[in-house]
Amino acid sequence: MNTALDTALFTAWIEETARTVAAEKERLTGLDAAIGDADHGANLDRGLTAVAAVLAAGEPGTPGSPGSPGSLLVLVGNTLIRKVGGASGPLYGTAFREAGKALGDTPEVSVAQLHAALEAGLAGVRKLGSAAEGDKTMVDALAPAVRALEQAVQDGKDTAEAIGAAAEAARTGAEATIPMQARKGRASYLGPRSVGHEDPGAASTALILSALHTVATR
């Protein structure tokens, strides 16, 4: 199914992400309680609630509302940076903002363009957080998702299949952080005690991509 990746779908993605994170808030906070500040779920939920309120203020395409997928993601990123404390706001905000900048003003996005956007978001996160795969961060979910989406494009998969492959890769990547020892962020202070816990940032990244797959298959 080749779903049109237009502003309406991207808006639905962000709304679905907000609902999903709200439903999983306690789980994410529990993950963060084990190796961080115990606020990841609450912080991300607060930021996405603020984003949803901004989007609810006007329909896409109306004055003051984002007119393209790219401008929508930039708006999301800027809002998260303003509203979310700690490391999450800058990291997720940068990911969305860089992805939006990569898309530009095109009104409808191909899967290949989506891949390029997520790749730009990943590059922004890596630069800001100085994190690589294996450091037990959101990069461990986002990087395999970007690779899976690239492979799906090369294989000629349709929109839903390609995004599904990315979402599955993110979920697998998040689960793979459990046996890792954290090398970045507050979790790194725990040393070997960080082993045995799923990284909350990787877990929420997987939720965000799962939400995209949900709306792409409607």
State the pLDDT at residue 37.
Answer: 85
State the pLDDT at residue 63.
Answer: 40
Neighbouring C-beta atoms of residue 2, cutoff 10 Å: 12
pLDDT in tens, 87-141: 889 999 999 999 999 999 999 999 999 999 999 999 999 999 999 999 999 999 9
Average pLDDT over residues 161-173: 98
Structural domains in the chain, CATH included, are 5-216 (1.25.40.340)
Instruction: Please report which confidence band the pLDDT of residue 85 belongs to, taking 50, 70 and 90 as the band edges.
Output: confident
User: What distance in Å separates the CA atoms of residue 78 and residue 16, rounded to the nearest whole number?
Assistant: 19
Instruction: Please report which confidence band the pLDDT of residue 60 belongs to, taking 50, 70 and 90 as the band edges.
Output: very low
192 within 8 A of 159, measured Cβ to Cβ: no
State the pTM of this model: 0.93
